[in-house]
Structure 1
Amino acid sequence: MSGESIKETVREEYAKAARRVTEQQGGSCCAQVAPAGNPITSNLYGDREKASLPAEAIAASLGCGNPTALAELKPGETVLDLGSGGGIDVILSARRVGPSGKAYGLDMTDEMLALARENQRKAGVQNVEFLKGEIEHIPLPDNSVDVIISNCVINLSSDKDRVLREAFRVLKRGGRFAVSDIVVRGAMPAEVKRMVELWAGCIAGALEESEYRSKLAAAGFDQIEVEPTRIYTAADAKGLFGDNKSIEAIVQKADGKFMSAFVRARKP
C-alpha cells in the first residue's frame, strides 16, 4: 500500500470514528476488530480526568496512552498535539498549561476537527486552537512550541522520518517531544508483525524500539527514552481475535513482543 493510500485509509477510518461518536455509537479505529474491551484503547484516563471532559471526547479517544499525564506540562507552555482526534489530550493539556499557555491540536480529518471544536465548546476551554493539516507538514512556524505530544498516531504515518523532522523544526530550543505510541520489542517474524499492525494500528506499522531511537536521533533529538506503559500479551490478542485456531500459533509468537510506550526526547 502506498503512502498516499495509507493516508486516505487513515483519514476515512477516523472520519468514520468521529461519525460514530456524533451518532452516539462510540467505537475506535479498531472497532472492526474489537468492538469492545480493546486492551489498547481502554482504561487510559483516570476518573477525575474523565469527569472533567465531555462524554464525546472520551468516546472519540483512539489512543494507546495518556501523554498529558506524563509530559510534565507547566503553566504558560505552548503544546502541540499531533493527530488530535476528538480533542481529549488537547483539552487536558490546555488545563495543565493554564490561561497563560496555549494548546494546539492538529488533525487532517474534517469530522474529527468538528467534533473536537464542539468538545472544546462543551469543556469551556479558551486557550485551544485546532488546526487542519498533516503531521508530516505541520502548519506552524519554526521554534514555536514548547512540547509536542501525540497519542498513538505517529505509528500510522508512512513517513515517520518526515514527522520527526517536522516535530524538531517547530519545537523551541530545549523543547520536549513526549508522545505515546505503539513500539515493537525486538525482532519479530513477518507474519506476527502483520498481525500486530492490524491489532495496534489498524492501518500501518509500529517501529521497533531501536529504530524509533535512531530516527529521533537522526532528526536531531537527544535525551531519548522509551518507557513501556503497557505490554501486550497473547491473552490480549486472543481477547481481540477470539479463539481463531488458524492464528493461534501467530498469537503465541506475539506474546510480549509489542507495547504502548511513552517516548521522550529533547531538542538541544
Structure 2
Amino acid sequence: MDTAEIKDLVRARYGSVAAGADASGCCAPAATGCCGGKPTPETRSRAMGYSEAELAAVPDGANLGLGCGNPQAIANLKTGEVVVDLGSGAGIDCFLAARQVGPAGRVIGVDMTHEMLAKARANAGKLGVTNVTFRLGEIEHLPIADGTADVVISNCVVNLVPDKAQVFREAFRVLKPGGRVAISDVVNVAPLSADLQADPALLCGCVSGAAPVERIEGWLREAGFAGVRVAVKPESREMIASWAPGRGIEDCVVSAMIEARKPAEAA
C-alpha cells in the first residue's frame, strides 16, 4: 500500500471504533481475533499502567483501551505547561494531562479522524474542562505554531504513520527550547513473517508498522533531539499477544517508552 492507502485504512479503522461499529476496542482489529474474551477498556488500561485514580478521573467513553502504555508515567507534567497529544483519540491522555497542568496550563489534542474528534469534544463537554482543545490534523503536519509546547505526548500512534521521521521533526518544531517528548509506542524487536507483514489488519493494529529501536533513536537525533532514550518493556508481551492470539506477534513487537529533549539553546 502507498501512504494514502495506509492513511485511509487507519482512518476508517479508528473512525469505526469511535462510532462504535467496531466493538473490539483494542489496538489490533477484531479481524485478527484480538482481545480474546473481550476485556473491557478499563482492564486493558490497567494492564498498560493506568492507575485506578486516573481511570476514575475521565468520563465514560474517553478511555477506549487503544494504547500500549501510559505516557503520563514519564511525562512529569508540571502546573502551567502546554501539552500536545499526537493522535489524541477519545481524549483520555488529554484529560489526564489537563488535571496535571491545571487551569494555568493547556492541552492540545490532534487527531486525523473526524469521529474521534467528535467523541473527544463530547467527552470534554461531559467533564467540563476548559483547558483542553482538539484539532483536526495529521501528526506529520501539526496544526500548531512553532515553539508552542512544553511536552509532546502520544500513545501507540506513531507506529501507524508511514513517515515517522517527519512526526519527530514536527514534534521538535512545536516544542519550546528545553521541551520534551514522552511517548508510549510499540517497537519492532524481531523480523515479522511475510504473512504478518502482508496483513493490513495488523498495520491498523499497531503491529506491522512498528519500527526498530535503533531507527527510532536515529530519527529523533536527526530531528535535533538530545537525551534520546527508548526503554523496551518486555512485560508488555502478554498484553500484546492478546491483540492477535496465536499469531506470535508478541515475539516481534513490544511496548516501549520513548523520551527525548529539545536542547535549551535550540532556535
TM-score normalised to structure 2 length: 0.86
Q: Given the alignment, which residue of 246, 251, 260 partners 2:255?
A: 260
Aligned counterpart, 1:83: 87
Q: Deviations over 1:185-206 (max 9, x none)?
A: 2x42543862898557526510
Query: What do the CA deviations read for 1:113-155 (whole angstroms, capped 9, x no partner)?
Result: 0100111111121101111111011011111110000000000
Structure 1 residue 220 and structure 2 residue 215: aligned? no
**Judging changes above 3 Å, is the alpha-carbon distance between structure 1 residues 231 and 188 closer, same or farther for their aligned structure 2 residues?**
farther
CA distance in 1, matches of 2:148, 2:98: 16
**CA distance in 1: counterparts of 2:87 and 2:27, whole angstroms:** 13
Question: Match of 1:171?
Answer: 175
Out of 153, 164, 184, which is 1:160 matched to?
A: 164
Q: 2:60 aligns with which of 48, 55, 70?
A: 55
Give the deviation of 1:61 after TM superposition: 3.6
List per-residue Cα deviations over 1:192-250 (Å, max 9, x = no partner).
8628985575265101001110011111111000122454548963x45445xxx5xxx
> Does the CA-based 8 Å contact 1:175-1:266 persist in structure 2?
yes
Q: Distance in 1 between matches of 2:238 and 2:62?
A: 30
**1:202 corresponds to which residue?**
205
- The aligned residue for residue 26 of structure 2 is 28
**TM-superposed deviation, 1:30:** 2.1
Query: TM-score, length-normalised on structure 1?
Result: 0.85
Gaps of 5+ in 2: none
2:102 maps to which residue?
98
Q: Which residue of 2 aligns with 1:182?
A: 186
Q: Map Cα deviations across residues 10-47 of structure 1 (whole Å, 9 max, x no partner).
A: 11111100011xx7956235241314249995423211
Distance 1:256 1:128, change over 3 A: same
**Matches of 1:255 and 1:26 in 2, distance apart?**
19
Following the alignment from structure 1 to structure 2, what is the Cα–Cα distance between the partners of residues 265 and 221?
A: 6
Moved more, 48-57 or 83-92: 48-57
Q: 1: distance between equivalents of 2:203 and 2:236? A: 10
Distance in 1, Cα, partners of 2:60 & 2:86: 21
| SS across alignment from 2:118 | helix
Q: Deviations over 1:82-109 (max 9, x none)?
A: 0000000000001100000000000111
3-state SS, counterpart of residue 180 of structure 1 = strand
Instruction: Give me the CA root mean square deviation.
Output: 2.7
Any stretches of 5+ residues in structure 1 without a counterpart?
Answer: none
What is the match of residue 110 of structure 1?
A: 114
Calculate percent identity across the aligned residue pairs. 43
Paired positions, count: 255
